[in-house]
Amino acid sequence: MRVPSSSDESPSVPALTALEARIRKDLEQLEYPRRPWVLPRRTRDGQSVLDVLVIGGGQSGLTAAFGLMRERVTNLLVVDDCEQDLAGPWKTFARMHTLRTPKHLTGPDHNLPNLCFQAWYEAHHGEGSWEAVVRIPKELWADYLNWYRRTLAIPYRCGTRAGAIAWSAEDDCFTVPLTDTRQGTTDLVHARKVVLATGIDGSGRWEVPSVVAGLRRELYAHTRDAIDFEALRGKRVGVLGAGASAFDNASVALEQGAGEVHLFYRRKSLPNVNPYRWAEFVGFLKHHADLPDADRWRFIHRIIEMGQLPPSDTFSRARAFPQFHLHGGSPWLSAEEVDGQARISTPHGQFTFDKLIIGSGTVTDLSLRPELAGLHGDIALWKDRYMPPEGQANADLLRHPYLGAHFELQEKHPGQAPWLQGIFNFTFGCLLSLGFGGASISGMKYGLPRLVSGVTRQLYLDDREAFFASLAGYDEKEFEP
C-alpha cells in the first residue's frame, strides 16, 4: 500500500516527515503479495458495494481498517459519529491524565516499529525522550491516532452515524443507512462485511441504575456525559461506582472546587489487585479464545469477580483532597428529589447532594444497539450456548454475544441467519468469547490479526468458485518449450 506524506505543521515536521518516509519504506519492502485480489461487487441496480464497512473510528476501528488495507482489502470505509479528530473518549469524556495501560504495550502498529507510539513520540520530542515517560498522556494518544489515520490514508467519514444494519438476500450484502449528523442527510451504503468497533459500550450502553433514572435529569450525569464541572464549585457531589472513571470524575469535580465529594460503592472494601495486569501475557492474550467454553467462562468470571480498581495514581489524585469521602458497602437503595436536591439512601444512612455522577459502567444488551435493531433476535448469546455452574452465574456475561474464533457473530438457530457471520463484533462485548480484543489496547496485538484473518477468510471463501474459474483459465506462459 502507498502512504502519502503528512501535512502536519507542528514544529517537528522534519522529524515526522522522516518517520513517515521510513513507514513508506517499511510498507513497500513488506508489500507481498502486491496484487489486488478482492473481487468487486455491485448491487442489482449497479450500485457499488464496499468490501468492509467499519463502524467506529476510534483506536479499534482505525487499526482494524489498516490491518485490512495491508492485506489488500482497500475498498473499505470507516465511519464515526464524532467530529473530526474527536473519535474515542480521549478528548471528550476520558477524565484521567494518562492511559491506564503500561506505556510499552503495542498493537496499533501491526508490528511495524516505525508506526508505534514511541516512534511518533520521539519524532515530536527527540530521541531518548521516551525514557522519561511513565504513562502515555491521553491527549497525546488521541493525537497519535489522528496522525495514524491521516498518515495511512484510511478512508474515513466523521460526523456520520450508522443506523440499523439489514441483510439484502437479493444483493448478497448488508445495507446500512449512514446519517450526516451535521446536515441531517442520510444515504444507504452496501457492504459485504461489517466490523463493529464501537467501543466499551458497543455491545450495550452506559448504565444508569433504575434507582437514579427516575430523577430529574438535571440532578445527575453519567461519567460518559459532558459535565459542567465549573458549575459544581462549592457544591456537594455524590458519585456512584468504585472504578477508575468514578474516581476520575470525583477528582475533576474536586479540582474545579466542589465543596464535598462523596464516593459510594457496593463492595465492603476497594479492590487493590488488578487482574488485567495478570492477564498481560501471551498465553491469555493470544489463546483465551481457544479454551473450551467452561474455561473461558471461569477465567472471565473470575476477572469480573475480582473487580475493577482505580489505579494507584487515580486513587491518590482523589484522596489528596480533604473534602473527598469514601463510603464502602454503600449501594444506593433509593433516590428522590427533595427541595431541588437529590437525596440518596444507603444501608448506612441518607445523604443529600446538589449533583450525582454515575460511574457504574456499562450493561451488555445487543437489543440496545441501534446498529443491531433488526438483527439482535437472531444473534447467539452465551446464554444460548452455555449454562454456568452453580456459584458462577452472571446475568451480564450471559448476555454477551457468543462469537466465532474471529469475532464473527453466530446465528442463534442454525440455518436461520447464516449471513450474521459477516458482522464482526470488535467491541468490549467480545470479552467472554475472545478476551481482551475490541476496545482494549492490551488485546490489540493478538486480537487484530484474528479479526483481519476472519474478514479476509470470508472474502476468499465467499468467492471460491470465481477464484477457481480464474485458476482454471490462467494461461500466462513463462516460456515456450
User: Cell for 430?
Assistant: 467480545
Please, are residues 160 and 166 in contact by the beta-carbon 8 Å criterion? no
- Measured between alpha carbons, how far is 195 from 25 in angstroms, rounded to an integer? 29
- Measured between alpha carbons, how far is 128 from 111 in angstroms, rounded to an integer? 21
Please, are residues 109 and 121 in contact by the beta-carbon 8 Å criterion? no
Closest CA to 340 of 355, 350, 330, 327: 355
Please, are residues 425 and 407 in contact by the beta-carbon 8 Å criterion? yes
Please, are residues 202 and 369 in contact by the beta-carbon 8 Å criterion? yes
- Measured between alpha carbons, how far is 94 from 108 in angstroms, rounded to an integer? 20
pLDDT of residue 6: 42
- Measured between alpha carbons, how far is 243 from 235 in angstroms, rounded to an integer? 22
349 phi/psi in degrees, rounded to 5: 125, -175
pLDDT digits (tens, 9 = 90+) for 308-350: 888 899 999 999 999 999 999 999 999 999 999 999 999 999 9
Q: Which residue has the cell 469524556?
A: 93
- Side-chain-side CA neighbours of 37 within 13 Å: the count stands at 21
- Measured between alpha carbons, how far is 288 from 435 in angstroms, rounded to an integer? 6
Q: What is the 3-state secondary structure (H, E, C) of the chain?
A: CCCCCCCCCCCCHHHHHHHHHHHHHHHHHCCCCCCCCCCCCECCCCCECEEEEEECCCHHHHHHHHHHHHCCCCCEEEECCCCCCCCCCCCCCCCCCECCCCCCCCCCCCCCHHHCHHHHHHHHHCCCHHHHCCCCEHHHHHHHHHHHHHHCCCCEECCEEECCCEEECCCCEEEEEEEECCCCCEEEEEEEEEEECCCCCCCEEECCCHHHHCCCHHHEEECCCCCCHHHHECCEEEEECCCHHHHHHHHHHHHCCECEEEEECCCCCCCCCCHHHHCCCHHHHHHHHHCCHHHHHHHHHHHHHHCCCCCHHHHHHHHCCCCEEEECCCCCCEEEEECCEEEEEECCEEEEECEEEECCCEEECHHHCHHHCCCHHHECEHHHHCCCCCCCCCHHHHCCECCCCCCECCECCCCCCHHHHHEEECCHHHHHHHCCCCCCHHHHHHHHHHHHHHHHHHHHHHCHHHHHHHHHCCCCCCCCC
Any residues with CB less than 8 A from the CB of 322 and at least 6 apart, and which?
Answer: none
Closest CA to 155 of 237, 66, 89, 277: 66
Strand partners of residue 162: 178
Please, are residues 407 and 424 in contact by the beta-carbon 8 Å criterion? yes
Closest CA to 456 of 34, 52, 32: 52
- Measured between alpha carbons, how far is 307 from 304 in angstroms, rounded to an integer? 5
pLDDT of residue 1: 62
pTM of the model: 0.95
- Give residue 432's Cα distance to chain centre: 15
pLDDT digits (tens, 9 = 90+) for 431-453: 999 999 887 899 999 999 999 99
- Measured between alpha carbons, how far is 325 from 347 in angstroms, rounded to an integer? 16
AA identity, residue 320: A
Please, are residues 190 and 53 in contact by the beta-carbon 8 Å criterion? no
pLDDT of residue 4: 44
The number of residues making up the chain comes to 481
User: Cell for 295?
Assistant: 474455561
CATH 3.90.1150.10 fits 13-203+364-466, yes or no: no
CATH number for the region 208-272+309-360 comes to 3.50.50.60
Intervals of the chain under pLDDT 50: 2-9, 11
Any residues with CB less than 8 A from the CB of 387 and at least 6 apart, and which?
Answer: none
**CATH 3.50.50.60 domain extents, the chain:** 13-203+364-466, 208-272+309-360
